């Protein structure tokens, strides 16, 4: 559908622009200001130029945390997206089972972040947790507070538990929006189940999958509360993700400057990755329409 060129449409955008600009641009500008200064409390600031940026860029902990973060986000996406699509495909398409499944599936989504942390703490603990205790009974020495691998498994499981339902809901809605005529045509052509998936369902899911991947990437890249509650970034630095490093850095250095420089770099990275992904998906979409 061709859109009408009309610059007065800006008036419809204006409320959104003002509202978001208030909460986004002013804090962002303040963070940029902090990042080039050294704070001495009481509103005393000394200009230090690019010092904090050089500090942050040459700090090994940031590099480690970045790799860890990329690993975590990648792993989480690799598990959640295929799993979510598969579960959505397995969902019933009509009948009483639909609302029941939807409600049960969506429950984890509406649990506040720190409650998710609490739930998994309670669930994975060796002494009182169902998972920890069962594993111990089975002879597995599971201990997420000492073993880095186990801590990782716990944090990834927790994120998969919390957020896979989002992918399922989006994909399920996308699947329901495919007109039945598409399936009928496929049946007449004698298409196999996998052919239907690759040539009909997956292309139609592109819109919702883009939202799912972008949302999951952004949110997992900024994950803070859940690992903080469960592992506190430990054992050692095993689950010390970027946001946790950033917060510790701000507290430990007692200074906003380095933390502000850190978060600007962090923001630019997320912006770059999301832009590349968004552009790539949009181009594929336009190529399809032609």
Partner 1 sequence: MESGTLADWLEHSFGWMAWTWVTGTFFLTILGLLVVMTVWELAMPTVQRKGFLPISTTRGDRFFIGLLSSAFIHLAWLGLVGAGLTWALAICAAWMVVLLRYG
Partner 2 sequence: MGAVKPGKLALTLYIVLLLLPLYWLMKMSLQSNEDILGSFSLWPVNPSFDNYVTILTDSSWYMGYVNSLTYVFMNMAIVLTVALPAAYAFSRYRFIGDKHMFFWLLSNRMAPPAVFLLPFFELYHAVGLFDTHIAVALAHCLFNVPLAVWILEGFMSAVPREVDEMAYIDGYSFPRFFVSVFLPLIRNGVGVAAFFCFMYSWIELLMARTLTLTEAKPISVTMTRTVSAAGLDWGLLAAAGTLTLIPGALVIWFVRNYIAKGFALGRV
- Subset of residues 174 to 213 that bind partner 2, contact rule: CB under 8 A: 174-178, 193, 204-208, 210-211
Under the binding rule (CB under 8 A), the answer on residue 91 touching partner 1 is no
Question: Which C-beta is closer to partner 1: that of 55 or that of 219?
Answer: 55
> How many CA atoms lie within 13 Å of 289's alpha carbon, on the beta-carbon side?
8
What tokens were used for 250?
């701000």
Q: C-alpha distances in angstroms, 112 versus 74, 115, 154, 226?
A: 23, 5, 18, 10
Beta-bridged to residue 38, according to DSSP, are: 46
- Spacing of C-alpha 89 from chain mean position: 22
Pair 202, 210: CB distance under 8 Å: no
Interacting partner of 119 out of partner 1, partner 2, none (Cβ under 5 to 8 A depending on kind): partner 2
Distance of closest approach, residue 60 Cβ to partner 2, in angstroms: 20
Distance of closest approach, residue 90 Cβ to partner 1, in angstroms: 37
Under the binding rule (CB under 8 A), the answer on residue 40 touching partner 1 is no
Under the binding rule (CB under 8 A), the answer on residue 79 touching partner 1 is no
Query: For the window 2-31, what string marks contact with partner 2 as x by the rule CB under 8 A?
Result: -xxxxxxxx-xx-xxx-xx-xxx-xxx-xx
Distance, CA of 272 to CA of 124 (rounded, Å): 36
Interacting partner of 241 out of partner 1, partner 2, none (Cβ under 5 to 8 A depending on kind): none
Q: Which of 20, 26, 122, 185 binds partner 1 (CB under 8 A)?
A: 26
Distance of closest approach, residue 59 Cβ to partner 1, in angstroms: 10
Distance, CA of 283 to CA of 285 (rounded, Å): 5
Q: Which of 30, 97, 130, 202 binds partner 1 (CB under 8 A)?
A: 30
Under the binding rule (CB under 8 A), the answer on residue 39 touching partner 1 is yes
Q: What is the dihedral of CA 102, 107, 109, 112, to 10 degrees?
A: 160
Under the binding rule (CB under 8 A), the answer on residue 285 touching partner 2 is yes
What tokens were used for 210?
């883009």
Beta-bridged to residue 47, according to DSSP, are: 37
* Residue 37: DSSP 8-state: E
Instruction: Identify which of 95, 106, 76, 97 has the alpha carbon closest to the alpha carbon of residue 168.
Output: 106
- Binding positions for partner 2, 86-115, rule CB under 8 A: 86-87, 89-91, 98-99, 101-115
Under the binding rule (CB under 8 A), the answer on residue 163 touching partner 2 is no
Interacting partner of 153 out of partner 2, partner 1, none (Cβ under 5 to 8 A depending on kind): none
């Amino acid at each position: 559908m061709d859109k009408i060129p009309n610059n007065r449409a800006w008036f419809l955008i204006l409320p959104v622009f003002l509202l978001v600009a208030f909460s986004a641009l002013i804090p962002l500008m303040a963070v940029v200001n902090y990042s080039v200064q050294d704070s001495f409390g009481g509103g005393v600031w000394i200009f230090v130029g690019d010092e904090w940026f050089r500090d942050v860029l040459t700090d090994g902990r940031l590099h480690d945390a970045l790799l860890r973060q990329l690993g975590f986000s990648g792993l989480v996406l690799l598990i959640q997206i295929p799993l979510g699509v598969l579960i959505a495909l397995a969902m019933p398409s009509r009948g009483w089972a639909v609302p029941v499944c939807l409600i049960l599936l969506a429950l984890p989504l509406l649990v506040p972040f720190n409650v998710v942390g609490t739930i998994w703490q309670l669930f994975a603990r060796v002494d009182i947790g169902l998972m920890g205790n069962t594993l111990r009974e089975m002879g597995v020495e599971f201990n997420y507070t000492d073993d880095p691998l186990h801590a990782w498994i716990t944090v990834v499981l927790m994120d998969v538990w919390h957020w896979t339902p989002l992918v399922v809901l989006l994909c399920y809605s996308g699947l329901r929006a495919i007109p039945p005529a598409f399936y009928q045509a496929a049946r007449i052509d004698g298409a196999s189940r996998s052919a239907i998936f690759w040539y009909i369902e997956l292309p139609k899911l592109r819109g919702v999958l883009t939202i799912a991947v972008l949302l999951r990437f952004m949110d997992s890249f900024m994950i803070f509360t859940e690992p903080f509650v469960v592992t506190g970034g430990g054992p050692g630095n095993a689950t010390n993700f970027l946001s946790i490093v950033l917060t510790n850095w701000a507290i430990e250095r007692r200074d906003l400057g380095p933390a502000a420089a850190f978060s600007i770099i962090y923001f630019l990275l997320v912006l770059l990755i999301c832009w590349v992904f968004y552009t790539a998906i949009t181009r594929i979409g336009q190529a399809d329409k032609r």
